Amino acid sequence: MTEPVEDVRRIWSTVLATEVQDVDVNFFDAGGHSLLVMVLQEHLEELFGREISIEDLFEAPTIRAQAHLLTGSSDPKQERDSGFGAHSRSRLIGRGNGRAAAEDRT
């Protein structure tokens, strides 16, 4: 594992309070939730010394993708929006339309 990937993996393990090994697992599938995304954001910004938007974290939802996002390198294996599409991301950040919200309540 490369050093940035290992750094992000350690942060995820801290934030999620469990050892995360799979660098291609989606943050939410690993046990994360919307409040923990903000905690993750804070830790990543502190470690890498740069601002990261929540939207960037949603678009790069894996350890590998976030490491590449933060280092500015490209990764042909990186799958943006892997694991949750625009509909799910919109609901999480409060941009869902009325119909989707109504469907979720039923």
The number of distinct structural domains making up the chain is: 1
- Burial class of residue 46, CB neighbours in 10 A (0-12, 13-18, 19+): exposed
Query: Which of the residue ranges 9-13, 34-38, 70-74 would you say has the lowest mean pLDDT?
Result: 70-74
The secondary structure element, H or E, covering residue 13 is helix 3-16
pLDDT in tens, 41-80: 999 999 999 999 999 999 999 999 999 999 987 554 544 4
- The CATH number that applies at residue 13 is 1.10.1200.10
CA–CA distance, 56 with 59 (Å, rounded to integer): 5
User: Which domain covers residue 45, as residue numbers?
Assistant: 3-105
